[in-house]
Structure 1
Amino acid sequence: MTARLIIQLAALLGALSVGIGAFAAHGLRKMLEASGRFETFETAVRYQFYHALALLAVGILLHIRPELRSLGTVAWLWLGGVLVFSGSLYVLCLTGITKLGAITPIGGVLLIAGWIVLLLAARQL
């Protein structure tokens, strides 16, 4: 994955985080509070936004240090993690399909794996 693509994905995830968060706060709040899932939805948005910012930093670092190819792996792991972790929580909150909660930890493992690969990549700095 290129630095440009990582930065573009970071920007997209960041913009979606703000949009989804605002939509939840203003348009979905009553429904999410009634189902007791507002905090879960907020968690999904928060983790998405944290990883959008982290992806931005990784993209900038890869631009500066293109030889650190493992940063592309970090980006893929975080992207997959956000899609599975936050995505499953969004769907769970909006549909009530609780079985989706079973795949949420897979997303969490992908996010953690990305941080571990980043830790290993940092040894080359």
Structure 2
Amino acid sequence: MKDCSIKGAIKYFIASSGAFCVLFGAWLSHGAAFLNTGQQQSLITALNYQFIHTLALLSVYVWYNLAPQKSLKITLLLFTAGILLFCGSIYLKTLTEFSMLGKLAPIGGMTLAVAWISLVFQRQKS
């Protein structure tokens, strides 16, 4: 995949993820009364993680645009995959009650942790 298409895809992912966080948060606050407390808590957890990691992804995206490095591109992809796997699996498992999806959450969580750790290995450009 070309660098331009990766940057474009990640830019659209950041924008749609941020918008999703706002809209889903509003729905969760006002329209999810039919869900039990456990389901609501699971969705709130996923939403909080998605919001925090979308902001982290945005920060790394800006950094990558200022000082492109292959290692930063890998970090961008790790954050994106982690959000999709961790948060996405929690949303889908909770809303569809398809419990097998829950097995993806730990993989997504580890991917997010690796993304954070990968920031240590970024080199400074002068």
TM-score > 0.5 by shorter chain:
yes
Q: What's the secondary structure of 1:116's corresponding residue?
A: helix
Greater mean alpha carbon deviation, residues 91-100 or residues 109-118: 91-100
Cα distance in 1 for partners of 2:55, 2:80 equals 12
2:59 pairs with 1:26:
no
Task: Check whether the contact 1:44–1:85 (CA below 8 A) recurs between aligned residues.
Answer: yes
Q: 1:47 aligns with which of 46, 49, 57?
A: 49
Deviations 1:68-122 (A, max 9, x none): 221111111111111110011101111222232222101001111111212211x
1:35 Cα deviation after fit? 5.5
Cα distance in 2 for partners of 1:93, 1:9 equals 22
- In the TM superposition, 1:1-125 aligns within 5 A as 1=3, 4-5=7-8, 6-28=10-32, 30-32=33-35, 34=36, 36-66=38-68, 68-121=69-122, 124-125=123-124
Q: CA RMSD in A?
A: 1.8
Deviations 1:35-76 (A, max 9, x none): 62111100111111111101111111111112x221111111
Q: Percent identity?
A: 37
Q: Aligned pair count?
A: 120
